[in-house]
A and B are shown apart, each in its own frame.
Chain A
Amino acid sequence: MIQGAIQIGLMMLIVSIVFSFYRLAKGPTTPDRIIAADNIATNLTGVLALFAIQTGEKMVIIAVVVLTILSFVATAVLAKFLERGMIIE
């Protein structure tokens, strides 16, 4: 049962990544693109978690933790760059 749910969930996540890529390509302003990139990163962590369930690989969950923190740092740094024009003052 869980295998079928994983297949359906992976399809949903792939469609969601395609929508985010549409916003990343079209987005009128730069913050729109940053939000789309952040959404793609979160969706990729979801894909990685589904991969961990499907294969039973336990180490992938650590990669999920690391990717979560890394995507937050990237978004925060880009927001600061947009606001101040520099990253390290």
Chain B
Amino acid sequence: MSEFFASAALLIGAFFMLVASLGLVRFPDLYTRMHCATKATTFGMGGILISVALTFGSSAVAAQSILALFFLFLTAPVSGHLISRAAYRRGPNLAPSTTVDDYGPYLEKEKAIAKTADEEKSDEEDEAPSHPSAGPMT
């Protein structure tokens, strides 16, 4: 019975990883690709690692595979967010079919705030000139 559940979890996990890679090929946009590559792949690895835990049955191996699953669930969304944020700041290559872009106006506002802060800082430097290497951090 345990073998049946292990086989089912393994097949479901491998199928979801295949679907994730299919989405990586077919989707039009970096952000949609990131979405499928982080979510569906994490779910697929969950199925495969649960199958490992069911097959071995011993508590040590099950604990190690649950640990790997925990790390994967903890790190995959973070890495997806980091990649998409870095890609958007390099230049948003959004697909033409995009309807909602919430990060663009927010980024404009953030840039405006940083610009005014830089201007205030340069005004203070004009009044009291410090050493020449002082300037806005790049």
B interface residues (Cβ-Cβ under 8 A, vs A): 3-4, 6-7, 10-11, 13-15, 17-18, 20-22, 24-25, 30, 33-34, 37, 41, 44-45, 48-49, 51-52, 55-56, 58, 60-61, 64-65, 67-68, 71-72, 75-76, 78-79, 82-87, 89-90, 93
Contacts and interface: CB of A to CB of B under 8 A. Distances in A.
B75 A13 contact: no
A2 B6 CA distance: 7
B4 A31 contact: no
B82 A76 contact: yes
Given A2-B6, A72-B78, A20 B24 contact: yes
B87 A75 contact: no
A39 B89 CA distance: 22
Nearest to B41: A42
Contacts, number: 161
B6 to A, nearest CB: 6
A76 B85 CA distance: 11
A1 B4 contact: yes
Nearest to A40: B21
Contacts of A76: 78-79, 82
B79 A79 contact: yes
A5 B7 CA distance: 6
A58 B60 CA distance: 9
B79 A75 contact: yes
Contact of B86 (A16, A19, A83): A83
Nearest to B69: A68
Which has the most chain B C-beta neighbours within 10 Å: A2, A31, A45, A78? A31
Contact of A53 (B44, B55, B68, B90): B55
| Nearest 8 interchain pairs by C-beta | A9-B14, A72-B75, A16-B21, A19-B21, A5-B7, A79-B82, A31-B87, A83-B86
A3 to B, nearest CB: 9
Contacts of B76: 42, 72
Given A6-B10, A8-B14, A69-B71, 5 more contacts: A1-B3, A2-B6, A16-B18, A53-B6, A79-B83
Contact of A46 (B3, B24, B48, B60): B48
